[in-house]
Structure 1
Amino acid sequence: MHDIEPHFQWRDRYRAEDDSASPFYGRRYSEFSYSNKVYNYLLHPQWDEFGSETLYLKILFVDYEDRYAIIELIGEWNDALHNDSMHLKREVIDRLVGEGVNQFIMIMEGVLNFHADADDYYEEWYHEVTDSGGWVAMINVLDHVMDEMNSAGLDHYLHYGPILNHLTWRPQKARRVHEAIEGLLQTERKRVY
């Protein structure tokens, strides 16, 4: 896992460490010092820790005018042991919501396991963003992770599933990824109603 870097093609347009509204403002990174790890596996030093012992992230892009953020995750999402949803919500999401962001694209292909517990932080996040016309979309969720999320009833609060899986997002511009996800969610809403 030490050689898996967060997506870097948008760094010419956005860097969380240079964004004064970001929870990672002012952070400095090393290309040579590996300190973060998931269990016994070292992670590339470009990933950001936010209080979880097994889950790391990178804010890839934020557009405050259009009110969206794209966040890539890696590791194990473990609410049962580490309350990762609380750490994510309090340390990252709350800061972005406070800056007006109400649409979140969570890239989940690097989340290898998910262990559920209570859903209160997901419900809180859902109400905060939907009350202002926003949403939370999780793309490219692994099947076994999706099964666990479904078992926990998280489909009541988060958008994920076949319509948002197997998306080729890396070669696209951030704006295009946002537009595509927004379009897929609108299509899904029309299909449901």
Structure 2
Amino acid sequence: MHQIEPYYNWLKFYNVSKDPNSPYDGKEYNFDLYSENIYGYYIDPHWDFMGSETLYIKILFVDYEQAYIVIEFIGEWNDAINNDIMHFKRNIVDHFNAYDINKYILIGENVLNFHGSDDSYYEEWFEDMEDGWICAINFRDFVLDEMQQYNIDSYLNSGGELDVVNWRTLKPQVLCSRINEVISRRIDLV
């Protein structure tokens, strides 16, 4: 797992450690020492701790004017034991909601497992969005299936055109715009 790095080619557009509005503002990354781990497996120092021992994140991009945030995940999303959604909601989502961020793009290629509990934090998060949305892209099918068993899919948009396989080839603003277009079409159909 130590070889799985968060996507870093967008650093020229946004750097979480240099954003004064970020909870990671001023964080210094030590690339000589691997200290964070998931189940005893060390992970790349680029990943950020958000309160969970099994799920780490990297905030790849924030656009405060357009109200977008793109977050990449690694690990096991475990609501049943570690209440990961509570940590994520309280430590990250609530923080950025205070800056009027209401469009969340969650990248889940490196989410290796999901263990659900109830959907109350997802429901709270969804209700906080007002004119926004939450989108899960490139999550593994079995992870999305497990989320569906716990009704999480009622709060997250996923699948179809939202699985942007080539998202790394896009500039962050282009990715956000494409996701917004797809979700807008879905909303118009309802």
C-alpha displacement of 1:166: 4.6
Listed as ranges, the matches of 1:17-36 within 5 Å are 17-36=17-36
Amino acid paired to 2:159: G
Distance 2:100 2:138 in 1: 25
Q: Which residue of 2 aligns with 1:109?
A: 109
C-alpha displacement of 1:32: 1.6
Amino acid paired to 1:143: D
Q: Deviations over 1:46-77 (max 9, x none)?
A: 00001101000000000001111000000000
Instruction: Assess, with a 3 A threshold, how the Cα gap between structure 1 residues 167 and 188 changes in structure 2: closer, same or farther.
Output: farther
- Number of residue pairs matched by the alignment: 190
For residue 8 of structure 2, give the secondary structure of its aligned residue in structure 1. Answer: coil
C-alpha displacement of 1:153: 0.4
Listed as ranges, the matches of 1:40-189 within 5 Å are 40-129=40-129, 131=130, 133-189=131-187
Q: Deviations over 1:95-123 (max 9, x none)?
A: 10001100000001110100000111101
C-alpha displacement of 1:38: 1.1
C-alpha displacement of 1:190: 3.2
Distance 2:132 2:124 in 1: 13
Distance 2:66 2:100 in 1: 9
Distance 1:173 1:49 in 2: 25
Listed as ranges, the gaps of 5+ residues in structure 1 are none
Distance 1:20 1:3 in 2: 29
Distance 2:58 2:77 in 1: 15
Is residue 2:21 matched to residue 1:11?
no
Amino acid paired to 2:157: H
Distance 2:117 2:63 in 1: 31
The normalised TM-score by structure 2 is 0.97
Instruction: Assess, with a 3 A threshold, how the Cα gap between structure 1 residues 166 and 14 changes in structure 2: closer, same or farther.
Output: closer
Amino acid paired to 2:5: E
* Percent sequence identity over aligned pairs: 44
Root-mean-square deviation (Å) = 1.0
Distance 2:156 2:182 in 1: 14
C-alpha displacement of 1:187: 2.2
Runs of 4+ in 1 over 4 A off after TM superposition: none
